[in-house]
Amino acid sequence: MVPGLTASNAFMSDQDSEVLTVEYFSMINLSVKEKNQTMCDRKNNAIILFCLIFAGGNACSQSTVKTSLPFKKHTLTTEFVSEGVAIGDINKDGKIDVMAGPFWFEAPTWKRHEITTGKPFDPAKEYSTSFLNFSMDVNLDEWTDLIIVGFPGTSGVWYENPKNSEGHWQKHIISDTVGIGNESPNFIDVDGDGRKDILCADSKAKQIVWLRAPTTKGSTTWERIPISEINAPGTDRFSHGLGLGDINKDGRKDIIIKSGWWEAPVDRTKPNWTFHSADLGEDCSHMHVLDADQDGLNDVLSASAHKYGIWWHQQVKDASGNIAWKRHEISKNISQTHSSNLIDINGDGHPDLITGKRFFAHNDTDTDPGTHDPAVLAWFEFKPGTNPSWKQHEVDNNSGAGLNFIAEDITNDGQIDIVISNKKGVYVFENKMKKKSR
Ligand SMILES: [Ca+2]
Ligand SMILES: [Ca+2]
Ligand SMILES: [Ca+2]
Ligand SMILES: [Ca+2]
């Protein structure tokens, strides 16, 4: 008997077959070639394995045994409409809907509605007008609105939820004067007041700033709060790498770029945070902070935006207290990992890294290595320790991820689902994994 499988699998329900498939993937080490197989091939492998184990290789065909993946894929569209995605209960029916650029998709049928006039773009030749999407109730009227960050360096906009009335949503400019730069703006609570902010570069002023959403009902004014000097690093419209996390463990989250970090002061609305130089590696996308090796010093995780590479940067301190950063490679299997999320997706108490290929990041050109690789979406199972590990699990190989994606429980079953939008389309991956016990 193969470990992890029981005779009860011989009469599999859909749910059971999903578990079998999870266990099958976890039992074998896939070669690079196998990793590039189509998902159909993999399903067949799972079926063949099942046949060999339970039917002696006989009397078993694809038509009689169904398998499915640990994530159920919902295709909202295969058109390229946005490289960012956001979620929220748009129509207040209790179900979480999906927004991607000019459209929102109504759960559970994913009927498409227009937020504004939109059209699909050509993934081989075009960029969309929607790079990152965030959702919040901007004007505090208790209806979820959509924020769109467009081509790097342009002004952000938000669309006001029309409260179930017909027609397009009213468009508002966040700030005429702020060019939202750096290619990985974060939508994250910078000052710890419980309301999310836009953390980005102002590529016109060449400053790191955060934009605070209106705080009083009916207001549409976003406050621009600079934290760096003018002409700071990481502030070009096409700069790569930005994150928020507590590097020095003083309880306040600091702002991180690949060449250093700004130390958050007690009052995070103050300008001129102290900058500390640090070598945090190559151009990357979102940057995350955690103590991977559990030595009491926080480390930094990042993934390459346009090449291959996922890394953790170990914070090391010498006897005099001087800090250095040692780079460790986690994976070089997926190129163009232009967005990531850090969240415990398997429920074992450890935050996992989810990332995917920003398919055709620079269109159908050979600018980026691996442009024509399968568009993989994967999660890396994190086990902390002196030698921390991140084991790759594939979610899908014909989607990937865009410039930002969602990893939250959108079906309200306690499992973290994944929602992506990129040049492959818009997809929901419903988490059907069995939860691991802690
Ligand atoms: Ca609103
Ligand atoms: Ca701090
Ligand atoms: Ca550490
Ligand atoms: Ca985990």
- Cβ atoms of 311 and 303 within 8 Å: the answer is yes
The DSSP line for 328-344 is EEEEEEEE----EEEE-
Whether the per-residue pLDDT at 47 is higher than 70: the answer is: no
* Confidence (pLDDT) at 52: 39
* Confidence (pLDDT) at 434: 76
Band (pLDDT 50/70/90 cuts) for residue 9 is very low
Band (pLDDT 50/70/90 cuts) for residue 51 is very low
CA distance 149 to 133: 6
Whether the per-residue pLDDT at 48 is higher than 70: the answer is: no
pLDDT in tens, 325-350: 999 999 999 999 999 999 999 999 99
Tokens of 113: 């509605």
CA of 342 to the centre of ligand 3 (A): 16
* Confidence (pLDDT) at 360: 98
Taking residues 61-81, what's their average pLDDT? 73
Band (pLDDT 50/70/90 cuts) for residue 27 is very low
Displacement of CA 302 from its chain's centroid (Å): 12
* Confidence (pLDDT) at 225: 98
- Cβ atoms of 122 and 80 within 8 Å: the answer is yes
- Cβ atoms of 243 and 289 within 8 Å: the answer is yes
* Confidence (pLDDT) at 137: 98
pTM for the full predicted model: 0.85
* Confidence (pLDDT) at 42: 45
* Confidence (pLDDT) at 63: 35
Taking residues 130-137, what's their average pLDDT? 98
* Confidence (pLDDT) at 262: 98
CA of 424 to the centre of ligand 1 (A): 29
pLDDT in tens, 148-202: 999 999 999 999 999 999 999 999 999 999 999 999 999 999 999 999 999 999 9
CA of 299 to the centre of ligand 2 (A): 13
Taking residues 1-15, what's their average pLDDT? 34
CA distance 391 to 210: 34
CA 300-303-307 angle, 5° bins: 145
Mean pLDDT, all residues of the chain:
87
Identify the nearest ligand to the CA of 138 by its number: 1
Whether the per-residue pLDDT at 40 is higher than 50: the answer is: no
* Confidence (pLDDT) at 436: 57
Identify the nearest ligand to the CA of 262 by its number: 2
Identify the nearest ligand to the CA of 296 by its number: 3
Taking residues 379-390, what's their average pLDDT? 98
Taking residues 115-134, what's their average pLDDT? 98
Which letter, b or e, does each residue of 360-397 get, where b requires 16 or more Cβ atoms within 10 Å of its Cβ?
bbeeeeeebebbebbbbbbbbbbeeeeebebebbbbbb
Whether the per-residue pLDDT at 31 is higher than 60: the answer is: no
pLDDT in tens, 247-300: 999 999 999 999 999 999 999 999 999 999 999 999 999 999 999 999 999 999
CA of 337 to the centre of ligand 1 (A): 32
What is the percentage of the chain residues whose pLDDT exceeds 90?
A: 82
Give Cβ neighbours of residue 322 (< 8 Å, ≥ 6 apart).
none
CA of 20 to the centre of ligand 2 (A): 44
Lowest mean pLDDT of 39-48, 115-124, 291-300, name the range.
Answer: 39-48
CA of 280 to the centre of ligand 3 (A): 14
